[in-house]
């Protein structure tokens, strides 16, 4: 089986703006993200983004905008010789319609675990919100709560050395 580090996006990978990140120009990648992902990949982890993007349901931006942001991130990580294995995002929002994927539900993590044959007991979820940690617990992976925009390099080094 494989092991993985699941990463929330806003506040973990890119700067949390305190509002929705609506286009690629607002998608500001935090310092050391490329290096942090390289550290995880070298330690044999799959790296998978698990993100709520309720702004899509609200009509603030589209899936195409989100894909542009993710392309920007892939270009960034490739400069460090690292890559992200997959992206899962929930385009729904409770104010528009209910779904099973939006965190704190764990469906996105569970789908990824089934697709990539991931062992939850060897895996982690890093997020800056309580709902990230709740989703992690429901899926049986270790949740690590960080402060928004605080950077993940040290935590990733620690995970890689365990």
Residues in contact with Zn ion by CB under 5 A are 90, 92, 99, 101-102
Residues between 106 and 145 that touch Mg ion (CB under 5 A): 128
Which residue's CB is nearer to Mg ion, number 98 or number 130?
130
Q: At its nearest, how many Å lie between Zn ion and the CB of residue 109? A: 13
The radius of gyration of the chain from alpha carbons, rounded to an integer in Å, stands at 15
- Other CB atoms within a 10 A radius of the CB of residue 95 amount to 9
Helices (H), the chain: 33-42, 63-78, 107-116, 130-139, 153-161
Q: Which does 11 bind (CB under 5 to 8 A by kind): Mg ion, Zn ion, none?
A: Mg ion
Q: By CB under 5 A, which span of 11-19, 27-35, 76-84, 91-99 interacts with Mg ion?
A: 11-19
- Other CB atoms within a 10 A radius of the CB of residue 75 amount to 10
- Residue 6 · residue 144 · CB < 8 Å: no
With binding defined as CB under 5 A, does residue 30 bind Mg ion?
A: no
Q: Which does 76 bind (CB under 5 to 8 A by kind): Zn ion, Mg ion, none?
A: none
Which residue's CB is nearer to Mg ion, number 9 or number 38?
9
Q: How far apart are CA 109 and CA 37, in angstroms?
A: 18
Residues that bind Mg ion (CB under 5 A): 8, 10-11, 128
């Amino acid at each position: 089986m494989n092991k993985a580090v699941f990463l929330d996006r806003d506040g973990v990978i890119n700067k949390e703006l305190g509002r929705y990140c609506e286009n690629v120009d607002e998608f500001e990648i935090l310092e050391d993200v490329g290096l942090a992902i390289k550290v995880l990949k070298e330690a044999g982890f799959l790296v998978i983004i698990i993100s709520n993007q309720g702004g899509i349901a609200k009509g603030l931006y589209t899936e195409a905008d989100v894909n542009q942001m993710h392309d920007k991130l892939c270009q960034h990580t490739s400069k460090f010789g690292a890559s992200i294995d997959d992206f899962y995002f929930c385009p729904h929002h409770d104010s528009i319609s209910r779904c099973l994927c939006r965190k704190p539900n764990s469906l996105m993590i569970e789908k990824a675990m089934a697709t990539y044959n991931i062992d939850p007991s060897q895996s982690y979820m890093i997020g800056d919100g309580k709902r990230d940690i709740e989703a992690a617990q429901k899926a049986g992976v270790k949740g690590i709560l960080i402060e928004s925009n605080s950077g993940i390099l040290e935590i990733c080094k620690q995970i890689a050395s365990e």
